[in-house]
């Protein structure tokens, strides 16, 4: 169970961050849409409180993931045509931006609407913007559309991973799967280890 990533595989820590956050983000988005259809009740308020706490957990995990990324270098990228490398870097960068922007817009909406914010009923968190209903109306739209944008980005992200696995038959997906192991080593193109 390697703690640090190697040339041919992602570390257990990096995989745990990736899959835990993917599940929490997708689950939390689906949870929000499902809750939205419920009739107003105390139960609904409690469920939204849970939605907010899960979202804040994603934000905290992002900070830890970034710190870990500084300490642990990622395995080299699987070489490919230049346009594919550029597209992959752009998608990864946008995914990281969305991982932060989704919780922050949710938090900002919550603040602008004047709702209180508690983390799993343990402690209160402050408002990050002042009470402003006009701003709240914009922020909730942004919050929801960012989630749709994330789903859109998963098309090239997941599609790319499947293409590597099925068409190119390389280890790109296998080395990221929870119990996956690289079958063959992935060659490193010169100067490509960021």
Q: Are 65 and 21 in contact (CB under 8 A)?
A: yes
C-beta of 126 vs 190, nearer to ligand HEM: 126
What is the size of the binding site for ligand HEM (CB under 6 A)? 40
Question: Exposed, middle or buried: residue 122 (CB in 10 Å: 0-12, 13-18, 19+)?
Answer: exposed
Instruction: Quote the CA–CA distance of 111 and 164 in Å, as a whole number.
Output: 43
- Pick the stretch among 1-9, 39-47, 126-134, 151-159 that binds ligand HEM (CB under 6 A): 151-159
Q: Does 55 bind ligand HEM (CB under 6 A)?
A: yes
Distance CA 120, CA 49 (A): 8
Q: Give the range of 39-47, 79-87, 91-99, 127-135 binding ligand HEM by CB under 6 A.
A: 91-99
List the structure tokens of 145.
Answer: 């559309």
Cα dihedral 11, 104, 89, 91 in deg (nearest 10): 110
DSSP label at residue 193:
-
- Closest separation between CB of residue 77 and ligand HEM, Å? 5
Smallest gap from residue 1 Cβ to ligand HEM (A): 19
What CA–CA distance (Å, rounded) separates 112 from 106? 10
Q: Which one of the spans 1-9, 38-46, 89-97, 126-134 is the region binding ligand HEM (CB under 6 A)? A: 89-97
Structure tokens at 130: 């002042």
Binding residues vs ligand HEM (CB under 6 A): 18, 22, 25-26, 28-29, 32-33, 36, 48, 51-52, 55-56, 58, 69, 74, 77, 92, 95-96, 99, 102-103, 106-107, 109-110, 117, 140, 143-144, 147, 154, 157-158, 161, 172-173, 176
């Amino acid at each position: 169970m390697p703690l640090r990533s190697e040339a041919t595989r992602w570390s257990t820590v990096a995989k745990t961050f990736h899959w835990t956050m993917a599940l929490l983000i997708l689950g939390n988005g689906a949870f929000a849409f499902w809750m939205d259809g419920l009739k107003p009740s105390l139960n609904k308020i409690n469920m939204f409180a849970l939605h907010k706490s899960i979202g804040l957990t994603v934000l905290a995990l992002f900070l830890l993931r970034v710190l870990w990324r500084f300490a642990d270098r990622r395995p080299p990228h699987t070489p490919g045509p230049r346009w594919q490398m550029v597209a992959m870097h752009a998608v990864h960068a946008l995914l990281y931006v969305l991982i932060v922007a989704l919780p922050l817009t949710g938090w900002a909406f919550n603040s602008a609407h004047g709702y209180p914010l508690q983390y799993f009923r343990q402690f209160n968190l402050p408002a990050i913007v002042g009470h402003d209903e006009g701003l709240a109306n914009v922020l909730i739209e942004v919050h929801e559309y960012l989630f749709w944008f994330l789903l859109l980005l998963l098309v090239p992200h997941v599609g790319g991973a499947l293409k590597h696995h099925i068409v190119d038959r390389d280890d790109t997906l296998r080395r990221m799967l929870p119990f996956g192991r690289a079958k063959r080593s992935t060659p490193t193109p010169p100067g490509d280890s960021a």
